[in-house]
Amino acid sequence: MNPDAARRFVDAKWDDEIIPELVEYIKVPNKSPAFDPAWAEHGYMDDVVGMMSRWVREQTIAGLQFEVVRLPGRTPLLYLEIPASEIP
């Protein structure tokens, strides 16, 4: 792995994709159940899960498996799995 190329990739990904996504994320008044007992009714958690799900699906990572796990009365869980691979 070329460290300079890796740094350029990470810097570009951060500046071009992650920061703009975080800016949109913090606009949503989503709070944990400890601070918003009616979190499920308000739907903000679903809004941000949708945003994050869309971003994950746009990534071009070989073998990426993704699902949103929902259990009654619990906040959603985003489950991502990337299989191991050999580095040439």
Cα angle, residue 21 at apex, residues 87 and 35 outer, rounded to 5°: 115
Region of 68 on the Ramachandran plot (φ > 0 left; ψ -120 to 50 alpha; else beta) = beta
Whole-structure pTM over 0.85, yes or no? no
Q: How far is CA 83 from CA 3, 33, 76, 79, in A?
A: 23, 33, 23, 13
pLDDT in tens, 3-21: 999 999 999 999 999 999 9
| Cα–Cα distance measured from residue 80 to residue 68, given in angstroms and rounded to the nearest whole number | 9
The whole-number pLDDT of residue 88 equals 63
